[in-house]
Amino acid sequence: MIVAEAKPFDEIKEMVNGYRKVLVLGCGSCVTVCMSGGQKEAELLAAALRIARGIERREATVDAKTILRQCDEEFVRQVRDELSSYDAVLSMACGAGVQGMNEWLRNVPVLPAMNTRFIGLCEGQGKWVEVCAACGDCVLGVTGGICPVTSCPKGILNGPCGGNKKGRCEVSPDVPCAWVLIYERMKERGKLEEFKKERAAKDWSKRQRPGRYTHRP
């Protein structure tokens, strides 16, 4: 799942400064699941903007709404007329949503309220961790289902390196060594022979941007 987090409030406030009538638009998919950009957060951001504008004695309308997905035109089309009555839409979707919205709305600027962070997993209520770097050449099949490209700060394919101290990475004691985790997992599965094999360099050309995918080429 895509995880995003709200930008600092001042930055958002500044961004919508020139617009009188603003709609904070939540997205009902990934960012709702990671609690940062669903209806609840949209309402809260709208209230904060109203308060801030009130203090600055600026007459302004800031409303909140959420649609199921901002990254598909069909969903956006359903609310196009309604959105067109605003001077700006402040999108709480990931970067894909914001770009799609700008493409399909045209007459209203759509501004990003979020910083899109990563593809991640939930680690318990309200906590997410990055687990996939979208490298385009997946190695999970030979690493016990743990991604060294994402979870090892150095992204090495044949670890651990000498910087591992008691299972922690030298980069920070908060970061577990991904390669120790891979070792433990493969040991548990009786795959230590495989662990010892050398892994060839990855094909980084697959990561050339912008990526494209066609379901039935």
Partner 1 sequence: MRPIIVPPCQAACPINTDVRGYVSAIARGDAEEALRVIRRVNPLPSVCGRICTRRCETACRRAQVDAPVAIRALKRYAADLAIGQSFFTRPLSSYPEKVAIVGSGPSGLVAAHDLALLGYSVTLFEARPVLGGLLSEGIPKYRLPKEIVQREIGAIVSLGIEVKTGVRFGKEVSLDGLLWDFDAVFIAVGSGKGIVPQCDGVDLSGVFSGVDFLKEVDRGDRQAPGRRVVVIGGGHTAIDAARTCIRLGVSEVTVVYRRSLEEMPAGKEEVLRAEEEGVRFVYCAAPIRFIGKTRVERVRFARTALGEPEESGRRRPVPLEGSEFDLEADAVILAIGYAPDAEEIKEAGLKVGERGTIVVMDETGATDITGVFAAGDVVTGPMSVVDAMASGRKAAGAIHRYFRRIPDNAFDRLVSLRPLETSVTAAIQKSERQEPSLLPREQRTTSFDEVESALDHEQARREALRCLNCGAGATVDGECAACLNCVRVCPFGIPAMGAQTVEIDVAQCQACGICAAECPACAIHLKDDARYPMRPGVDRVLEKAREESPDIVVTGFYCCFRHPLGPPVERHALSWIPVLCLGRLRESDILYPFEVGAEGILLVSCRDEECRFGRGVRLLAERVERVKTILDDTGIGGSRLSVVAGDDECDRFIRGIERLGINPVRTGKRVAA
Residues that bind partner 1 (CB under 8 A): 8-10, 28-29, 32-36, 38-41, 43-44, 47-48, 50-62, 66, 122, 124-126
From the CB of 103, what's the least distance to partner 1, in Å?
Answer: 24
What radius of gyration do the chain's Cα atoms show?
22
Residue (10 or 198) nearer to partner 1, CB: 10
For residue 55, give the 3-state DSSP assignment: helix
Q: How far apart are CA 8 and CA 123, in angstroms?
A: 24
Among residues 105, 107, 122, 103, which one has the least CA distance to residue 36?
A: 122
Residue (42 or 181) nearer to partner 1, CB: 42
Instruction: State phi, psi for 115 to the nearest 5 degrees.
Output: -105, 120
From the CB of 41, what's the least distance to partner 1, in Å?
Answer: 7
Residue indicated by tokens 């700008």: 102
Residue (14 or 103) nearer to partner 1, CB: 14
Residue (69 or 168) nearer to partner 1, CB: 69
From the CB of 190, what's the least distance to partner 1, in Å?
Answer: 33
From the CB of 78, what's the least distance to partner 1, in Å?
Answer: 15
- Cα torsion 174, 179, 180, 181: sign: positive
* Sheet (strand 114-122) strand order: 2-6, 114-122, 128-132
C-alpha distances (whole Å) from 129 to each of 3, 113, 125 are 9, 21, 12
Residue indicated by tokens 């548990």: 188
From the CB of 212, what's the least distance to partner 1, in Å?
Answer: 28
Residue (22 or 178) nearer to partner 1, CB: 22
